[in-house]
Amino acid sequence: MRGTILKDPNSELAFAIDWRASGLLKHEQVVDDLGWTVQPVDEDPNCLKILEQTIKMCCSRVVLAGGVEGQVYLLTCTVGTDSLRVLKQAVILRIATASKDGEFDESD
């Protein structure tokens, strides 16, 4: 998986994990969607929020909104398998405002 994912605080971001490439054994299937979590969670009304989370076959998808400029979040997805295993994948997400040309400022 790549390093830090950047997200503009003023836009939504969809992100997906394909479990076939992220820990499933041969012939193993995802059977339980145990959800996505965001850390840290705070009282700021602009904090990163999960708008939608879905799972289709072996792919978990989340749609995120908001986030505090400069804040770094840990986004974690957890599923259960038919082999009674629990799998987790985590990514680091940093909130940065995109410039007019769509590029992110890497300096903050």
What confidence tens digit (pLDDT) does each residue in 25-80 have?
A: 999 999 999 999 999 987 888 899 999 999 998 999 999 999 999 999 999 999 99
Number of C-beta neighbours around residue 93 at 10 A: 20
What pLDDT shows up at residue 30? 95
Q: For the chain, which domains are there?
A: 5-95 (2.60.40)
What pLDDT shows up at residue 1? 46
What pLDDT shows up at residue 6? 94
Is the pLDDT reported for residue 106 higher than 80? no
Is the pLDDT reported for residue 104 higher than 80? no
What pLDDT shows up at residue 101? 58
Grade residue 102 by pLDDT with cuts at 50, 70 and 90. Answer: low
Prediction pTM value: 0.83
